[in-house]
Copies of this chain bind each other. A is one copy, B any other.
Amino acid sequence: MQSFEIDKSDLIRIKTALEGNDADLELVLKDYHASEIAILFERLPQEARERIINILPTEEASEVITEMTEESHPEELLVNLHPEKRSEIVEELDYDVATDIISQLDEEDQREILQDIDQEDATSIRALLNYQEDTAGGLMNSQVICVNINLTKKEALEDIIRQSEEMEEFYTIYVVDEAKILHGIVSIKDILKARSEIKVRDIYQHDPVFVKADLDQEEVAKLISQYNLTSIPVVDDHMKLLGRITVDDIIDVMEAENTEDILKISGVSEDEELSGNWKDAVKSRLPWLVINLGTAFLAASIIRNFDATVKSLAIISAYMTIIAGMGGNTATQALAVTVRRISLSDLSDRQAYNTVLKEFLVGLINGACNGLIVLAVACFYDANPMLGLVLFLAMTGNLVIAGITGASIPLILKRIGIDPAVASSIIITTFTDCIGFFLPLWLASKLLL
């Protein structure tokens, strides 16, 4: 079994079937899993998507819509469906999925969709719409299995089977009292093993790990990963059980957070949609570039100050770009390792100190090695050993500073509460450019002229 990748032949098969009648199309669709149809949708026009959703049984149609990525805009598909079909599908969706999709619509469309569906579902979805999308509340599903703490084994088992009718998988069973206050969790295994007179209160596990509804989703992901949980209950300030977040939702959060990290470290706004259009991309990246242009002028002004040096030794302007560029690369390496290390765990003062010390050493050695190569080229190609010495010293100095900067700036940002990934390579390489221009020019002006 391989991960599903869209094959030209699958696409041709679906497109051919779309030209035929419903019965043939239905037959072809049977060969695909809902998540595969969702991927095929990315390549199909809106009317083809609608036709397929209308043909599929409600349960599968809702699975396809669940699997569609945000960027395929499932909400547009939903709005265009016949109201009756749409209501059936929305009622079948998990509350958290329905909420995510409906939240993308304007208020009028939201109202129209919610008034047509079962009113108990509508109330739950309306409640979820109030939470911020990137918090525990926005991520949770309010459909959970919970048992009253005072039930006997037999009553609890019956209640669990009744509640599980509507759910695919039930993960953890939560133990609550009459006011829905969360007391703990109980495993189906422990219920099954218990003797018949045993009550839930005798066998449940106290002190479950839980989160408040307003906790940031990144923190939820850290908790689930740290405690190896398959799901985590979400409560309000009074410990009332509101819902639960499952590990598969967290995988999506982790993907999104990782995308953000890579984008930020590369000087792209974290909000840029990967498949967004050019207008959004310009909006997201131009500000960074303009900031960088300002700092680049700063670096260039250093060269201006050594105008005489450049005029009398034009070759230095070729070498200084090498030294500045190598500094940028060294800083980028130190930055990537440090940012990633911070994002996986917090560093103590001592670990932070050791990290900077390590990057100092790495910069020193890599600087000396590359400096020796440049020294050799200056001696043998340019026949100028003194220039070689200048370049050796400048290369070593710049790579030492680059290592220290690349490690310490994200560490400092983290300490003062700023996301360390913002110390993008774009910002840090400007700094190494300045030093990379200054050192060879200044050393040359002192030692060569």
**Residues of chain A at the chain B interface (Cβ within 8 Å):** 1-6, 33, 35, 39, 42-43, 67, 157, 160-161, 164, 169-171, 187-189, 192-193, 209-212, 215, 219, 222-230, 247-248, 250-252, 254-255, 258-259, 261-263, 265-268, 272, 274-275, 277-278, 281-282, 285-286, 288-290, 292-293, 296-297, 299-301, 303-304, 307, 310-311, 314-315, 317-319, 321-322, 324-326, 328-330, 332-333, 335-337, 339-341, 344-346, 348, 351, 358-359, 361-362, 365-366, 369-370, 373-374, 377, 425-426, 429-430, 433, 437
Contacts and interface: CB of A to CB of B under 8 A. Distances in A.
A333 B120 CA distance: 46
B321 A299 contact: yes
Nearest to A370: B293
17 contacts: A2-B219, A3-B219, A164-B189, A224-B251, A225-B251, A230-B230, A247-B251, A251-B251, A251-B254, A266-B333, A274-B337, A278-B361, A282-B362, A289-B366, A289-B370, A325-B433, A332-B426
A350 B370 CA distance: 43
Q: Which 7 residue pairs across A and B have the least CB separation, nearest first?
A: A266-B336, A303-B318, A317-B317, A300-B318, A3-B222, A278-B361, A274-B341
B296 A321 contact: yes
A264 to B, nearest CB: 9
A303 B321 CA distance: 10
A250 B344 CA distance: 16
Contacts of A255: 225, 254, 344
Contacts of A230: 169, 171, 230, 247-248
Contacts of A373: 290, 293
A210 B1 contact: yes
A274 B340 contact: yes
B193 A329 contact: no
Given A169-B187, A358-B277, A267 B223 contact: no
Contacts of A251: 224-225, 247, 250-251, 254
A326 B362 contact: no
Nearest to A190: B164
Given A261-B262, A278-B358, A299-B322, 13 more contacts: A1-B223, A164-B189, A263-B336, A263-B337, A266-B332, A268-B337, A275-B351, A290-B369, A290-B373, A293-B326, A296-B321, A310-B317, A329-B429
A161 B344 CA distance: 37
A263 B334 CA distance: 10
A430 B328 CA distance: 11
Contact of A425 (B67, B317, B332, B377): B332
A365 B279 CA distance: 10
A119 B187 CA distance: 30
A266 B5 CA distance: 28
Contacts of A252: 225
A6 B39 CA distance: 42
Contacts of A314: 307, 310-311
Contacts of A358: 277-278, 281
A209 B1 contact: yes
A321 B307 contact: no
B307 A340 contact: no
A319 B401 CA distance: 24
A170 B189 contact: yes
Contacts of A225: 248, 251-252, 255
Contacts of A341: 274-275
A142 to B, nearest CB: 18
B377 A297 contact: yes
Nearest to A226: B35
A382 to B, nearest CB: 10
Given A254-B254, A262-B262, A311-B314, A366 B286 contact: yes
B301 A333 contact: no
Contacts of A67: 228
A57 B324 CA distance: 57
A433 B325 CA distance: 9
